[in-house]
Amino acid sequence: MIHEENEILKNDNKPYTVFTPYKRKWLKLYEAKPYTNKVDFNNFYSKIRVFPSMEELGIKKSDISVKDFDLSKVDDYEQIRDYPHIDQTSYLSPHLRFGTVSIREILSKLKPSNSVFQSELIWREFFMQILYHFPHVVTENFKPKYNAIKWLNNSTDFEKWCTGKTGYPIVDAGMRQLNKTGYMHNRVRMITAGFLCKHLLIDWRLGEAYFAKKLLDYELSSNNGNWQWAAGTGCDAAPYFRIFNPYEQQKKFDKYQDYIKKWVSEINTDQYPKPMVEHKFARNRALEAYKIGINKY
């Protein structure tokens, strides 16, 4: 992290729970402090006698490879970040997750035009401080008013979502990409997560656990924060009544099905499954379930 857990607090010394004011203070503090990458680690390294092997650490090699990060891909990040078929993302997240690159080094290399990409890195620290100050989010909704939501948690529906057989092409492409590569494009993560919680009324904790098992860049704070954002139960969440229409998302961000065709080989054939639930029905069902849950609080 750039800032430690108690460095960015409100004037009353309480933690921020809304991203935008947190980001303003984060930037103000960052610009005021002279961070440097030129640190002498020679003395530190000289004290290390024998570093344990991968086997001794219990680390097993995966058959999924981690792509090298490429910051040149974020020059047009703001304009193209939502289009999964372009695949113009940095692939930085696994490297930040495992510490194979310094966050200070990355920020020092960003151009002034990379402010939107910088904001994504600040989101990462925002969710880290949320986890620190509000540890209950690991197993509970950040906002207790959502505790009474009655999730359906249908195991058959969950399995269809996990395996990418929902009948919604953009959702299925995302889940198949995740299962195959350990990665999923950010826009598609939002779509698949929202679909699970609101179209299928399955508890976000089940989806969060599945992502934790599959993602190469899995990090508890970001995974938890983003899943609660998608479910509408988090601190700075999308309102519960904001429900993505997967068809509209597909039309907007993968109009010619370039991304979908890459991951769903049977698309546009008789082998591709019918939609497992009708969008309008699912939307109304979710709205009703959330309203009933909130009214019980």
Where in the sequence numbering do the catalytic residues fall? 120, 123, 151, 186, 204, 227
Angle, CA of 118, 221 and 23, to the nearest 5°: 35
Q: 9 in helix, strand or coil?
A: strand
Cβ(223)–Cβ(212) below 8 Å: yes
Question: Which single residue is written with the structure tokens 């090699």?
Answer: 61
Query: What is residue 113's DSSP assignment?
Result: G
Widest Cα–Cα separation across the chain:
65
Q: Which among 89, 93, 79, 102 is positioned nearest to 127, based on CA atoms?
A: 93
Give the Cα separation of 4 and 245 in Å (integer).
38
The tokens describing 155, both together, are: 């195991």
CA dihedral over 261, 263, 267, 269, signed as positive or negative: positive
Q: 266 in helix, strand or coil?
A: coil
Q: Cβ atoms within 10 A of the Cβ of 104, count?
A: 14
DSSP H helical ranges for the chain: 19-32, 42-46, 77-80, 93-98, 103-109, 115-133, 155-163, 169-181, 186-194, 204-214, 220-231, 246-253, 258-263, 279-296
